[in-house]
Amino acid sequence: MSGKQRVFIGDFVHCKTLDTLEILEDTAIFVDEEGVIVAIERGCDLKKAEEISIPRLGWVKEDVMVRVARKGQFFFPGFVDTHIHAPQYPNVGIFGKSTLLDWLTTYTFPMESSLKDLARARSVYTRCIKRTLSHGTTTAAYYATIHVATTNLLSDLCLANGQRAFVGRCCLDSLSPDWYIDESPAQAIKDTRATIEHIANIDPSNKLITPILTPRFAPGCSTELMTQLGALHKETNLPFQTHISENKGELDLVKELFPNSPNYTSVYDSHGLLTPKTILAHAIHLDESEVDLIIKRQSKVSHCPCSNSSITSGTCKVRWLLEKGVEVGLGTDVSGGYSPSILEAARQASLVSRHIAMSGDDKAKLSIEEVLYLATRGGANVVGLEQKIGGFEVGMEWDAQLIGLGPNYWSEDEGNPECVKALEGVEESPVDMFGWENWEERIAKWVFNGDDRNTLAVWVKGRLVHEIRK
Q: Which residues bind its own copies (CB under 8 A)?
A: 89-90, 92-97, 117, 119-124, 126-127, 131, 309-310, 312-315, 338-340, 348, 351, 354-355, 357-359, 365, 367, 409-414, 430-432, 434, 436-437, 441, 444-449, 451-452
Give whichever of 169 and 442 is closer to its own copies, judged by the CB atom.
442
Instruction: Compute the distance between CA of residue 164 and CA of residue 132 in angstroms, rounded to an integer.
Output: 11
Give whichever of 213 and 457 is closer to its own copies, judged by the CB atom.
457
Give whichever of 45 and 437 is closer to its own copies, judged by the CB atom.
437
Neighbour order of strands in the sheet with 278-282: 240-244, 278-282, 300-303, 327-330
Give whichever of 224 and 413 is closer to its own copies, judged by the CB atom.
413
Query: What minimum distance in Å lies between the beta carbon of 342 and its own copies?
Result: 14
Query: What minimum distance in Å lies between the beta carbon of 95 and its own copies?
Result: 8
Question: Is 29 in contact with 17 (CB distance < 8 Å)?
Answer: no
Q: 74-77 and 400-403: which strand pairing?
A: antiparallel
Query: What minimum distance in Å lies between the beta carbon of 430 and its own copies?
Result: 7
**Pseudo-torsion of CA 221, 226, 232, 235, nearest 10°?**
160
Query: What minimum distance in Å lies between the beta carbon of 397 and its own copies?
Result: 28
Give whichever of 9 and 115 is closer to its own copies, judged by the CB atom.
115
Query: What minimum distance in Å lies between the beta carbon of 291 and its own copies?
Result: 20
Query: What minimum distance in Å lies between the beta carbon of 81 and its own copies?
Result: 16
Give whichever of 321 and 343 is closer to its own copies, judged by the CB atom.
343
Give whichever of 34 and 437 is closer to its own copies, judged by the CB atom.
437
Query: What minimum distance in Å lies between the beta carbon of 434 and its own copies?
Result: 5
